A and B are shown apart, each in its own frame.
Chain A
Amino acid sequence: MTYIYAIVFVGILAMFYALGYYLNHKTPLPKECQDLKLECEGCNITSCEVHPVHDIKEEE
Chain B
Amino acid sequence: MQTIFTIFLTAILINNVILSKFLGMCPFLGVSRKTSSALGMGFAVTFVIVGASIFTYSLYYLVLVPLHLEYMDLITFILVIASFVQFTEMFIKKFSPALYKSLGIYLPLITTNCAVLYVALDNISSKYDFWQMLASAFGVPLGFTLILYIFSCIRERLDESNVPLPFIGNPIALVCAAIMALAFSGLAGLI
A interface with B by C-beta (< 8 Å): 2, 5-6, 9-10, 13-14, 16-17, 20-21, 23-24, 27-33, 36-43, 45, 48-50
Q: Given contacts A17-B79, A20-B90, A32-B101, list 13 more A-B pairs with CB under 8 A.
A: A2-B68, A13-B75, A13-B80, A20-B83, A21-B86, A27-B93, A31-B97, A36-B101, A39-B34, A40-B30, A43-B25, A48-B26, A50-B105
Selected from B75, B83, B97, the residue in CB contact (under 8 A) with A16 is B83
The residues of A that contact B76 with a CB separation of less than 8 Å are: 9-10, 13
The residues of A that contact B101 with a CB separation of less than 8 Å are: 30, 32-33, 36
Can you pick out 25 interface pairs between chain A and chain B where the beta carbons lie within 8 Å of each other? Answer: A2-B68, A2-B69, A9-B63, A13-B75, A13-B79, A17-B83, A20-B82, A20-B86, A20-B87, A24-B86, A29-B100, A30-B101, A31-B97, A32-B97, A36-B105, A37-B105, A38-B105, A38-B109, A40-B30, A41-B29, A43-B170, A45-B26, A50-B30, A50-B105, A50-B109
* Inter-chain contact A36/B30, CB cutoff 8 Å: no
The residues of A that contact B26 with a CB separation of less than 8 Å are: 43, 45, 48
Chain A residue with minimal CB distance to B36?
Answer: A39
Distance, CA A37 to CA B104, complexed state (A)? 10
Interface flag for B62 (CB, 8 Å): no
- Binary per-residue interface labels of chain B (87-101) against chain A in the complex, 1 for a CB within 8 Å, 0 otherwise: 101100110010011
B interface with A by C-beta (< 8 Å): 25-26, 29-31, 33-34, 37, 63, 67-69, 72, 75-76, 79-80, 82-83, 86-87, 89-90, 93-94, 97, 100-101, 104-106, 108-109, 112, 169-170
Q: How far is the CB of A18 from chain B (nearest CB, A)?
A: 9
The residues of A that contact B87 with a CB separation of less than 8 Å are: 20, 23-24
